[in-house]
Amino acid sequence: MKISTGAEFYDNDETFLAYTKRRQQKENANDTIEKPAILQLLGDVTDANILDLGCGNAGFGVELLEQGCFSYTGVDGSINMINAAQQQLSTYPNAGVIHEPMEHYTPPRDKYDLVTARLSLHYIEDLASIFIKVNQALKPEGRFVFSVEHPVITSTLQPSALRTNWTVDNYFFTGFRQQHWMGGYVQKYHRTLEEYFSLMQQSGFTVTNLTEACPQKEHFDSAETYERRMRIPLFLLMSGVKNR
């Protein structure tokens, strides 16, 4: 049984197609819960130089550019994602992507006003080094905003399915997990909420916001889906400012 890294997982063509179809599903959790929450944390991005770690197909980058950011750079380890991102960004002169796993990528120092990472950091084993490099890449008082799968989800990863109940176990046993998802096995890393918070502080950030992305009814057409999503947090989001 092969257990793939995040980048390897999405470079399986069948998995990539399944993921693309999944993201197009009506009322998927990313679009109805995580996206509104992270947009609220980001606020105004006008004239910002933005680095996006684990950019995927850069659909988020297009939105940031349309909102007026000055430049957008995406980083991703999956060639399938990079190819899709290049197509999405082809008409934007101040945008580009870099094909490299984020754990191997060292960004230029003091360049960015904002660094984002949407649902990509739970694939990373050594998160401390990522946070330190993010801090170094930011201008003074630059911002770091990220989202991850909520620790109550990553503690006891279950096969992807429409669930009406959840198991939370081994919460304080942090570290490696494997998940059977979309026909394959992918490696993830579980951390407690406290660990994410502490890593931010230890890496030179002042944490300014923490949210568990409570679902908002206006983003759902189905009352049944909304009520089911209210039962357990799916995402954890944090934002921080680089210390002077």
pLDDT at 159 over 70: no
DSSP-derived letter for residue 180 is: E
Is 0.85 surpassed by the pTM of this model?
yes
CATH superfamily assigned to domain 3-150+190-242: Vaccinia Virus protein VP39 (3.40.50.150)
Q: What is residue 233's predicted lDDT score, i.e. its pLDDT?
A: 97
Strands (E), 17-92: 49-53, 71-76
User: What pLDDT sits at residue 173?
Assistant: 97
Q: What percent of the chain has pLDDT over 70?
A: 97
Confidence of residue 164 (pLDDT cuts 50, 70, 90): low
For residue range 81-124, list pLDDT tens digits in order: 999 999 999 999 999 999 999 999 999 999 999 999 999 999 99
Confidence label for 41 from pLDDT (cuts 50, 70 and 90): very high
Q: How far is CA 217 from the centre of its chain?
A: 23
What pLDDT does residue 192 have? 98
Q: What is the pLDDT of residue 66?
A: 98
Contacts of 36 (CB under 8 A, 6+ apart): 213, 216, 219
Query: Please, which contacts does 37-40 make with residues 24 or more away whose CB atoms are closer than 8 Å?
Result: 37/147, 37/211, 37/213, 37/235, 37/237, 38/116, 38/118, 38/145, 38/147, 38/237, 40/211
Phi and psi at 204, nearest 5°, equal 95, 25
* pLDDT(161) > 60: no
Each residue's pLDDT tens digit, 165-217? 788 999 999 999 998 878 788 899 999 999 999 999 999 999 999 999 999 99
SS3 51: strand
Mean pLDDT (whole number) for 141-169: 86
Q: Report pLDDT for 162.
A: 62
Per-domain boundaries in the chain: 3-150+190-242
